[in-house]
Chains A and B, each alone.
Chain A
Amino acid sequence: MPLKTEHKVGLFIIVTVLLVVAGLFFMAYKKGLFHKEYTYQLSSKTGEGLTLGMPVIFAGFKIGNVTDLELTEQGFVLVKFDVPSEHVRWLKADSRFILEKPLLGSPRINVRTENMGSPPLLATDRPEVTEVNDINETIKRFQPIIDKANQILENVEQITANLADPNGEVRGILRNAQKITGNFTDKKSALEIAVGDPQSIQAIYDSLRKLKDITARAEEILRKADAIAGKTDESVYGPEGLLSEISAILKDLLAKMKRLDVTLENVNKITTEASDAAKDLKVLRSDFDAGIRAIGDLANEIDKKIPFKKEPEIKLP
């Protein structure tokens, strides 16, 4: 027998209400509304930093709230907090309760239980709350840094005192600098002052000239490679072919050229900052030679990679 419309509507409303109520109960259950709560007590020398509703944390999880604060006859503060039945197991007779006041965020009571095998904490026990203050800790940590800063300041003071002293080291350095600038008028070039040897300078200039020529040579070889690229040939186009190999070599060459570029710039600087570059000059010189040799070798390598190349022969022209 089919149901009447009225019955259907009634049934729908009843089912809906039942579902809503069941949902609400489920949520309340999950929130721990029906869990049994146990009240524990702590003692503290001061009530400073303690507030009602303050969380009690174990291993980063909230396991309870402070519910009551009382000043006892003996002059200490009694802190009462509630813990639901499922979290009671974390509280042991030898647990430590630490009041944490972080630099950022609200204060809380942190529970530390080292030995899980200890007997459980009793409702009548009154363990003491110890305090950790981040701000004080931070200041303690900063202390050595401040000490160091003080040392530096002292050193600066010494240096400035040295400056004022006519026989001090700083004055000596300045006198040497004067000698160097005096050299400018006597010698041919700033580079010569730095090296102190005209032959070395000639070598540097020769190296520079050589570098230019080698670059020109590399270009020529590239042109050769371009001409070969015109041929449709696996050994040229393939992933392991000549072109990819050449491009790899060229990348290397480019990187090396860039390094040399920096070196060249240094040479330019030498002509203006002779005293500064004097110590780097030996390094500079070997840098040149190494760079130039590397480029020469690369050019030679590229040359050898060109396929079907016959072994060259020196003939009478």
Chain B
Amino acid sequence: MKRVVLAISAVLLLVVACGGSKPIRDWVNISHSQMETFKRDALTGRTSTGGIYYGKAIEEIKKSGNVDLLAKAYLIRMAIQVSLLEDPNEEDFLKVDAVESVAENKSYYYFLTGRFDRVDEKALPATYRPLQNALRNGDSSAEIAKLLEKIDDSLSRLIGAGIVVRRGNADEATLLAALGVASEQGWKAAVILYLGQLQSYYERTGQTAKAAATRARLSLIE
């Protein structure tokens, strides 16, 4: 019995010891959490508070003097803007890029802004590579919608959809994919946006019944 107790205590001690490993640095923890809150707020439509959190995240990153991370933070804002079909704010990123250019960041920047021929695919996050390839080759919208569905991460899928829609060759499947992921995550701003896109797509293609149904759905949640 004593041995069992001893063994259990030893294991527990080990577990506790593991838990108390290296403490997380404050600026890392705060910048990350503020950035996550910014993303969530922007996507759910709480723009005023989103701005505050974004500012705080940038402030924390600046504490470290890490230029690469600063560039990534600016790119994240651009990506969120693209996913919400807005014109991305490029200035800040370009300023940082002029000081220190990182291939990964630059490729992502070109991808977000739709300059697919300038993207270095090897430097682009792996999840976007098939989509980037298809967009550069000018594949059919059905093909592109299929590739979008294959992107696992919800935000990445929405960003991909945003890029496709902004390029102007989005079909119903692409819009539904974006709407699906936004609705699943509760990103209200994106839900409203893509419902609006879907409605105008139906109107453009003469599907009045579907357009009316989408408009009704939109009016319920707006």
Contact = CB atoms under 8 A, between A and B. Distances in A.
A213 B61 contact: no
A206 interface: yes
Contacts of B153: 317
Contacts of A315: 72
A206 B49 CA distance: 8
B76 A314 contact: yes
B16 A312 contact: no
Contacts of B26: 300
Contacts of B15: 233-235
A300 to B, nearest CB: 6
A217 interface: yes
B12 interface: yes
Contact of A317 (B12, B16, B156): B156
B159 interface: yes
Interface in A230-249: 233-235, 238, 242
B19 interface: yes
**Most A C-beta atoms less than 10 A away, residue of B23, B30, B52, B159:** B30
Interface stretch (A52-60, A98-106, A303-311): A303-311
B24 A316 contact: no
Contact of B24 (A210, A217, A304): A304
B12 A304 contact: no
Interface in A291-305: 300, 303-304
A209 interface: yes
Contact of A316 (B30, B37, B104): B104
Interface of A: 206, 209-210, 213, 217, 233-235, 238, 242, 300, 303-304, 307-309, 311-317
Q: Which 10 pairs between the two chains have the least Cβ-Cβ distance?
A: A307-B19, A312-B32, A234-B12, A235-B19, A317-B155, A235-B16, A213-B49, A311-B24, A316-B108, A317-B79
Interface of B: 12, 15-16, 18-20, 22-26, 28-33, 35, 37, 39, 41, 46, 48-49, 52-53, 61, 69, 72-73, 75-76, 79-80, 104-105, 108, 125, 153, 155-156, 159
